Structure 1
């Protein structure tokens, strides 16, 4: 099996682990030492996602990813990829993060294009170490809101400030979005929408809601509260939801971490008020990005099976699926019969 088949770059030099100089700065080391010492698993997952963008840089351009990930997360993922390469694994560590990132990037751009240049907002719930406001040109006419824990947003702001003020780095890290508002809130609580509106969110504006790597950390009631809140906005303005959902077998991957699941999100979301829903799985034509060539990798093997199957008929292993879902609604759009 070639490097290309499992998503890696053909150039062997891509895999060399090189840290940017800024990672060794005392101010940066201090921030990451506090992250390692004080943050829980959910908060640290933000740095793991940044590491995925950093180490899959042959397909994702994110100059801030290394800095936001930190040395510990970069080394950890690098070791996993190194092990996968030596074992000639069909599913390389981080490939899901890469495909998922590229899918969300492309769907955000598509949603904003569908607004035909009208005033728009993009809300990143559980934004973590997301850098789209700095790297996606499609956001230049949009107001961006990042909602997450206060200590996470503060650490991220501090790291980006260090990068921007660096005499060697700042030209790579200028904000592209029309505006960027960071909203400190726990999305599991009932007051996050109020805090979002206090930060300038306008309910009447066309809005793209991005829930990347978020819902499955919630309880069922917490996840439904968030989805229902967003669905209600379809009665006010053109609303697009982009989210990833785990099916039930996927939650068994880590019983203490993953809770919410939905085997049929394309049925759930219309019942909440969305008039159009499109579901993809990793490896589908719009969720491939040249990283899923091997027909025998886990994702390609599972997506060819009926979604109702919970275990694979060949080996009895759980059919763990990650659904990438785009849903939309508008007061001007009649429901699909």
Structure 2
């Protein structure tokens, strides 16, 4: 057998991703029925991300993900995973969510450690069904602020209270972070930053900004306003932003559900005031996590091509890329 033939598809060396067990009372089921009936595509994407994390539990370890995802979203992705395995697919459904989640987890920890102690803040914009405040030990001295739509914030709180609010110690879900504050705000509106400050955010405290799976849903105007607001903090305190960017080709994937893009975020962000920008693609050494072993999977094939190439030379298909970006700035590095 040749070396190439010996390579296994993504996930084949990992434990089977079984349908997760989770506390699902009649109330939890009713809440998710409301979600499925009333939420739009953008809001539902929060549950889809949670479902991906729940089904890749063997690498992510998120105890709240299944409850926050809901049974319908879990079954949808689980069925795709089974189909992908049967077809020996090179990319198993949910692997992008898994790698992206692990990349953000690792970079959040690096950022917190770079502050060299003291209190810090982590602001998660478009937080969705994120549960990092409950599972990342590196956040024990950090104040966490989750910002999202009012109806999403309310529903997330209700789901967690219903599923984990038991007096049974074994069933409780505890906040690991020093504090957790949820802010009901739409980052497409002009008042979200003011609401964040009124909720206890301190502009002069070292801050990690997390924008995972959110920028490309915004219009160009809204996305740029958010990025400029974050960059404006760099002259006052150590500021680290973690975000994922789609290139232009990727925005064609979902019937115009995606809008904002940047083919060169490492050029865009310095123009806004960030002084240090590092870019990775899924499959790079810091964005692999043992899940991207096949050199012929979509992500490995793309990352070895120059970013200026718009269509793959093998099949002529558009090169749809997802960039994982760490951008930072601090008062001593600010150029005046």
Shared fold (TM-score, shorter chain, > 0.5): yes
- Report SS of the residue matched to 2:77: helix
Contact persistence 1:244–1:323 (CA under 8 A): yes
Q: Deviations over 1:113-163 (max 9, x none)?
A: 000012210000000000000000000100000000011011111111123
Contact persistence 1:3–1:9 (CA under 8 A): no
**Structure 2 unaligned runs (5+)?**
none
Q: How does 1:240-279 map to 2 (within 5 A)?
A: 240-279=240-279
- Report SS of the residue matched to 2:158: helix
2:113 counterpart residue number:
113
Q: Deviations over 1:248-297 (max 9, x none)?
A: 00001013200000000000000100010000000000000000000000
Q: Deviations over 1:271-330 (max 9, x none)?
A: 100010000000000000000000000000000000001100111001000000000001
Identify the match of residue 18 of structure 2 among 16, 39, 56: 16
Change (3 A) 1:2 1:96: farther
1:7 counterpart residue number:
11
Contact persistence 1:8–1:291 (CA under 8 A): no
Q: How does 1:77-116 map to 2 (within 5 A)?
A: 77-116=77-116
What is the rounded CA distance, in whole Å, between the counterparts of 2:297 and 2:78 in structure 1? 20
Matched, 1:213 2:213: yes
Q: CA deviation at 1:7?
A: 2.5
Change (3 A) 1:134 1:41: same
Q: What is the root-mean-square deviation of aligned Cα atoms in Å?
A: 1.5
Task: State the number of aligned residues.
Answer: 331
What is the rounded CA distance, in whole Å, between the counterparts of 1:167 and 1:147 in structure 2? 28
Contact persistence 1:231–1:272 (CA under 8 A): yes
What is the rounded CA distance, in whole Å, between the counterparts of 2:331 and 2:14 in structure 1? 48
Contact persistence 2:185–2:192 (CA under 8 A): yes
2:286 counterpart residue number:
286
Contact persistence 1:163–1:169 (CA under 8 A): no
What is the rounded CA distance, in whole Å, between the counterparts of 2:34 and 2:130 in structure 1? 19
What is the rounded CA distance, in whole Å, between the counterparts of 1:170 and 1:125 in structure 2? 31
Contact persistence 1:4–1:291 (CA under 8 A): no
Contact persistence 1:140–1:177 (CA under 8 A): yes
What is the rounded CA distance, in whole Å, between the counterparts of 1:319 and 1:169 in structure 2? 49
Contact persistence 1:47–1:70 (CA under 8 A): yes
1:329 counterpart residue number:
329
1:149 counterpart residue number:
149
1:139 counterpart residue number:
139
Q: Deviations over 1:4-62 (max 9, x none)?
A: 64034544xx3332432x22x11101110110111000000000000000001111100
**Structure 1 unaligned runs (5+)?**
none
What is the rounded CA distance, in whole Å, between the counterparts of 1:301 and 1:188 in structure 2? 35
Change (3 A) 1:109 1:2: farther
Change (3 A) 1:201 1:3: farther
Contact persistence 1:3–1:10 (CA under 8 A): no
- Report SS of the residue matched to 1:58: helix
Q: CA deviation at 1:176?
A: 0.3
Contact persistence 1:5–1:291 (CA under 8 A): no
Please give the TM-score of this superposition, normalised by the length of structure 1. Answer: 0.95
Change (3 A) 1:169 1:70: farther
